Structures are given as structure tokens and as C-alpha cells.
Amino acid sequence: MSRGFAGAMLVVVVVLAGCGGDRASDKALRYPGDLKDVCDANTYFTRASTVSPTTPRAIVPFEEGQPGQFQQPNTGGWPVPWSGVEVEDIELVACAKRTNVGAEVKDCLYDTGVESAPLHEATYEVTVYEARTRKVRKTVSIRAKSHICPVSQLLENPDDAKVFASVTRDQYLTSLSDVVGAVTPARLGQRPPVAPAGAPNAVADKAYQARLDAVAGRLQRAMRSIKTARTPSGLSGRLQRASSDLDDAAGDLREFLAPKLATEANGRLARGLSGLAAELSSPGPICHGPSMLTTLSGSDAAGAIRLASFELAQRGYETRRLTVRPRRERNRRLPNGQVISRGGTGPAGLTVFNQGETDAVVKLVGSNGRTAVGMYVRAGSAARAAGIPLGTFRALVADGEDFDRARRSFNRDCRYSALAKRVTYTGSIREWRLPIQFGDLASGRAITEREFRGQR
């Protein structure tokens, strides 16, 4: 079976069902995606265009991803025809509701959330509505032919994650030609006029697309560099280089004379890149690259970049790499008292009282650098480890959020400390009770992650 990589995200949601008849909306239509409510909210838009008595007519489709959730298909190039179409000029909306699920075709791989989901064959019942009235113009069944992995998808049940084939643009236009009209291949490739005054459309479009491609390359290189950083020290240098590079990319956009209809989105994109550069220059307590990306993806700057990318895509530009993908913040925890490392056995025991607000790992390390025991203690809890050998040990503590079991370290807000008091077990002293609380290091000193790890 083949495997496809979407390099995106699957998001888990809970869907609430609604009810009721058609309803009118007078909201201003800014993007084709605003018309999705025709499909999943029984809504018609009084500001949409009246259906022309002649063809071709502007149409935009939406497909059912997860049950009851509609989104624009992966095939791109909507609305059709592009030339001169503004959102309020769109006359028709095609709603493709899935009626049958077929065989599994391949796996789609994702870099956050659910790691993979099988893509299945699918058949859709496509209903064409008037955007202004929600009057039905046609209904037809189409077996989808596109096996491109969805860039994003909403999943109700992560334990039974599935994604589905999409109807291609040619399938839509062929099956709906009697209501849409004939659209030639040349017109399918047309974009709205976006040239600055005095410049030919094709030349301005091509030059601006090249600039967007260059910026997208710099953005993705910066994200990859951050993602692969595994220590705070290694991350720090990469963040500074990425910050400088993104600031330069923002400057390149500001210096470029963007086509008129892309001017607003171009400015938003430049501001987003500058904001991201500022976030990278003063990141706060971040421990590893992947956690830095999670923090960045939730920032206002990343949101501005995603919005600008979406706006430019609506103008016909290729922007799939010009984004900071949303990432779900995780908070993985181990059971209280779980022993994560041990070296040697003996008759002694250690009880740790975590009086802080974050989970912690406490290690006892001998003079030879060997860890006698390492134990996970949840915030506000106490835990005991037994079977510790006799001897004198340093007590090292790490705390933070989102514990990575494989790395044996916290991903966010990580701090490290060596307590001043040494733990000594003798023939007569075989039990220690150790209270810990971060924020007050009077009883010890801060250490680096490298020191903490080097003591194992």
C-alpha cells in the first residue's frame, strides 16, 4: 500500500448537531469559504449574486470531510471561472455529501496530532444551490477520483481516523456543465487581475509568485531548523538565526511592489513575519525545538501569516508552503511515583513531597555519576521509591510541563536544580523525606539540562 505525506495536521473535535430550516444571512462575504454555511448551516446569503440567465456561472464547491463538516476540496482553483470573480459574484454553491465509503487506498501521514489516517475511496451526492436563495438547481452522484491527502481534516474519533478521496475540479465541471456552463481549460487557469498600474498581469503575477516562493522557502527552512533542535543551548543559536532570516524576508516583501489586489495581504504577511522574528528573538523558557514550534504556532504572528496565506491563495497564488502550521499543545504526564531510571539496589527508601505547581523528576546521583534512582512526582503529590543502595548522593531536580518519555525530559517551562543538602544512607539511616519546591532556590542552585543529564 502506498503512503502519502500531507505534512499537516489532523484536529480532534466534537461535533454538535443542529436543526432547523433555511435561514437568511446579510453578512458581508469576504472569502469563498464564507459560503460553506450554505452546506452545513442551511444558510443563504442575501448579498450573494443573483443567478445569471446565461452561462458560465461562478460556482464554488464544498465537500463533507467528517460527518456534517464541509470544507473546500484539495483540488484548488475555486471559484470557477477565476477571471473577474469577486466573492459576492459567486452565484452557485455545490455541496458534496458523502454517501458511500469504499476501499482503503493509502495512508496519509501528518506531523502533528493524529500521526496517520487511511484514505478511502468515496462517493458523494452533489447538490447545487443558489447562493442567494438556497434554491436547488441540480443533484448528481459522483465517485471521487482525487487521492491527494487532505492538508487538514477535522476528526471526531481519533481511534478510528479516516480521510476520503475528493471530487476533482474536472469532475465537478463536467457533471455540472448544464448549470455552470462550459469552462475551457484556459479559463480554469486564469487568476483575477492583480497587476500594478502599467505592468502586464502575467509579468506582475509571475514576479510576485517568485517572491512568495522565496519567502516560503526561508520560512520553512527556519521552521525545520527549530524543529530539529534537541537541547536549550542548541535551540538558542537556531532561534537567533531564524529570527534574523525571517526579519530579512519581511523586509524583502515590504520592498517589493505587490500587485494591487495583493497589497493588503502582502502587508499582513510582512507584519506576521516580523512578529514571528520578534517572538524568536525573545522566546522565554522553551526547552526543545518541537515545543518551540507549538508555542510559535499559537502566536498572533503565526495567525497573521496563516490569514495572509489564505487571502493570497484566494487571489490565485500558490501559498501552501507559506504558513506556520497549527500544532496542538500537549501535556503528557507519567503516573505519580513512576521510577524512570535506576542503578543498583539496596535497603533504603526516599519519599519526595512535590510542593510546587508543576510535575518534577527527582534523581539521586552518586559520586561516580551513576543514578541510583530517578522518580517522577506529580505537582502537589508525594511519592516513595524503595530499593536504593546505601551511600551519599546529590539530589537533582527537573520540573516543567509535557514530559517526553523517550527523552526523559520536559518540553516546556523546564528548570533544573541541584539541592544543597546531600542525601546520605547508612546502616542506621535508611529513609529520607525530601520536600521540593521551585521558585525558591535558597536550598540549592540552578543547573543546566546538560548538567542534569550528565549526572546519569
Q: What pLDDT is stored for residue 80 in this prediction? A: 59
Is the N-terminal amide bond of 259 cis, ω within 30° of 0? Answer: no
Q: What pLDDT is stored for residue 81 in this prediction? A: 52
What are the residue ranges of helices labelled H in 198-350?
201-227, 232-255, 263-281, 289-297, 300-314
**Residues 75 and 63: beta-carbon distance below 8 Å:** no
Q: What pLDDT is stored for residue 350 in this prediction? A: 93
Instruction: Say how many Å lie between the first and final Cα of the chain, rounded.
Output: 43
CA distances from 25 to 28, 44, 48, 81, 132 (A): 9, 6, 10, 25, 9
The H or E element containing residue 4 is: strand 2-5
Q: What pLDDT is stored for residue 367 in this prediction? A: 85
Q: What pLDDT is stored for residue 25 in this prediction? A: 92
Cα of 5 vs its chain's centroid, Å: 15
What is the rounded distance in angstroms from the CA atom of residue 236 to the CA atom of residue 441?
24
Q: What pLDDT is stored for residue 76 in this prediction? A: 55
All three cell numbers of 431: 529513609
The closest of 195, 214, 216 to 204, measured between CA atoms, is 195
Q: What tens-digit pLDDT sequence spans the chain (456 residues)?
A: 444 434 444 443 333 333 457 899 998 887 778 889 999 889 999 988 888 887 778 888 999 987 888 887 765 556 655 444 577 788 999 999 999 999 998 887 665 456 678 889 999 999 999 999 999 999 999 999 988 777 655 554 556 678 889 898 888 888 998 888 765 433 333 333 333 333 334 456 788 899 999 999 999 999 888 887 766 667 778 888 899 999 999 988 988 888 888 888 999 999 999 999 988 887 666 677 777 887 788 888 888 899 899 888 888 888 988 988 877 777 889 999 999 999 888 999 999 999 888 899 999 998 888 899 999 999 999 999 999 999 999 899 988 888 888 778 887 777 888 888 889 999 888 888 888 876 544 456 777 766 777 644
**Sign of the alpha-carbon torsion through 409, 411, 417, 419:** negative
246-253 long-range contacts, Cβ below 8 Å, gap at least 24?
A: 246/218, 246/219, 246/222, 246/273, 246/274, 246/276, 246/277, 246/280, 247/273, 247/274, 247/277, 248/218, 249/214, 249/215, 249/218, 249/219, 249/273, 250/274, 250/277, 252/211, 252/214, 252/215, 253/211, 253/215
Residue 66, C-beta contacts closer than 8 angstroms, at least 6 positions apart: 13, 15, 153, 154, 155, 156
* Cβ-count burial 403-424 (b if 16+ within 10 Å, e if not): beeeebbbbbbbbbbbbeeebe
Q: What pLDDT is stored for residue 454 in this prediction? A: 63
Residue 246, C-beta contacts closer than 8 angstroms, at least 6 positions apart: 218, 219, 222, 273, 274, 276, 277, 280
**Residues 4 and 105: beta-carbon distance below 8 Å:** no
Write out the DSSP string of 141-152. EEE--B-PPPSE
